A and B are shown apart, each in its own frame.
Chain A
Amino acid sequence: MTRVIEVPAHFDDRTFDNFAEGLGDWPPEQKLLFDARGTQWASPYGLIGLLTAGQALVEAKREKPLLTVPASDEVKRYWARAGFFQQAAELFELHGKVPRAAVTGPSDVLLDVTPVRASEDVHSVVDKISEGASRILHGELGLEMKATLRFSMALSEACQNIVEHAGTSGWVAVQAYTFRRRLGRRVVVIAVSDSGVGFRRSLESTHAKRFGERWGDGAALEAALIQGVSRFRDPGRGQGLAFIKRFLDQWEGKISIRSGTARLAIVPPWDEDVPLTDRLPYFPGSQVQIIIPAQQPERA
């Protein structure tokens, strides 16, 4: 029997938990069908989250899931242009007509949905992003020129977390769009996701003891993002997230990390998210989202 999981109509970090809830107990026993016919919009976080679900099912040795593609031609074209279907074809049995990705010059997709499997992929991602990042960050968002390097560093460190800690591969996507309801400004969003061991298991052997009964997904995220700990004993480790946090503070940016059943966010003044959310529906691996907003004229 096949169980249907509806992909939210507006699929982003805020509707992701509903999507995760639909998966039920992990790993699911039944074959899954992801129904995206009614989906009107998906953020990079949503797109690579969907791929992560597919990958996690493959890795859990479950039957290949089905995915019905969005009914809207416009949405389909956008997903195609973001490189989603190219990756999804390996993980899902796709149902519905999939358009070819159109090459139409510069777009808001700064980085297609790109697999991150090894260090070489991180090199490629950083190389690909540099030109477009400068155009968007400096030209559109009003950030200083050095923002491009910081942005590339953040991207590099976030992708490396997959290679170094996840124990499996993952995806990254970068896109610029307008946060109409939440912020009323342009933003650049980096989304990175994997279906790996997650923060709790990655840090458990080296850090669980000192947290005692508090140890869990939330405590592991706190340890990594707030305290900058790493599973490695090398004292140079754990600086990547601390650095990202520091420069996001300056730009009123946001980072949120979801792992297992918890999500931790550094929340800027413009957002109403809560810093730590526990007891969320389980979702495999780790999902990172970094949002950099356009600077206000007086701050630029």
Chain B
Amino acid sequence: MIETIRIGRLLREAVAAPYRNLVTRPTGAAVRTRIEETLARSSCLTALLDFSEIELVDLSCADEVVAKLLLAGGHGYFFVLQGLREDQHEAIDHVLTHHRLAVAAMPPGQGEPRLLGWVPSDAREAFACICDRGPLGAGDLARALGWLESRSREALRNLASHRLVRPVGELYHPVPTA
């Protein structure tokens, strides 16, 4: 199950004003708290954070909202970002790279998800392959990319530890987004 969380609505609630810019740490922390409250009431597997009503995400809010949600771990959700414009990726990418974290971002339309933040290059390649082909095991991925199976296993382990793919038995599934 997917829970879509409209960040713009949470922002308006948090600052009690019609702002479209997600800036400052107190605001980011307030928005994150509201996301956590929403998820606490939900039985979803994937939390789709929808930034489409947001104009600007600064570094402080990228850190307070996205990085801290990912750092909290342990909650069992897969986080996916959507509605971000290309020029809004930068702050989130910068902050997640600093923390060595990563998250999938769905581009507008039906394109393939993109990874923001840091994962090893093999894991990035494996992510693209799984998004393109669907669920794969270590052997499938090794054959698809011409790798040794040990290499693909490591890349998949890495993706799973970042909660960027969903392991089910021997297969690694793309994170559900629809």
Question: Does A157 make an interface contact (CB < 8 A)?
Answer: yes
The prevalent SS among residues of A at the interface is: helix
Contact A156 B23, beta carbon cutoff 8 Å: yes
Question: Does B33 make an interface contact (CB < 8 A)?
Answer: no
Contact A160 B21, beta carbon cutoff 8 Å: no
**Given A145-B87, A153-B91, A160–B25 Cβ distance below 8 Å?**
yes
Interface size class of B (residues with CB under 8 A): 20 to 34
A164 vs B23: C-alpha distance when bound (angstroms):
13
A240 vs B91: C-alpha distance when bound (angstroms):
10
Specify which chain A residues have a CB less than 8 angstroms from the CB of B25 in the assembled complex: 119, 160, 164
Q: What is the interface size of chain A, counting residues whose CB is below 8 A from a CB of the partner? A: 24
**Given A130-B55, A156-B60, A157-B58, A239–B95 Cβ distance below 8 Å?**
yes
A237 vs B28: C-alpha distance when bound (angstroms):
13
Specify which chain B residues have a CB less than 8 angstroms from the CB of A126 in the assembled complex: 21, 23, 56, 58
Contact A240 B56, beta carbon cutoff 8 Å: no
**Given A149-B87, A150-B90, A152-B56, A120–B15 Cβ distance below 8 Å?**
yes
Report the minimal beta-carbon distance from B52 to chain A, rounded to whole angstroms: 15
**Given A120-B15, A149-B87, A240–B23 Cβ distance below 8 Å?**
no
Chain B residues with CB under 8 Å of chain A are 15, 17, 19-21, 23-27, 55-56, 58-60, 63-64, 67-68, 86-88, 90-91, 94-95, 98-99
Chain A residues with CB under 8 Å of chain B are 119-120, 122-123, 126-127, 130, 145-146, 149-150, 152-153, 156-157, 160, 163-164, 235-237, 239-240, 243
Q: Can you list 6 contacts pairing A with B, beta carbon distance less than 8 Å? A: A123-B27, A127-B19, A156-B56, A156-B58, A157-B58, A239-B63
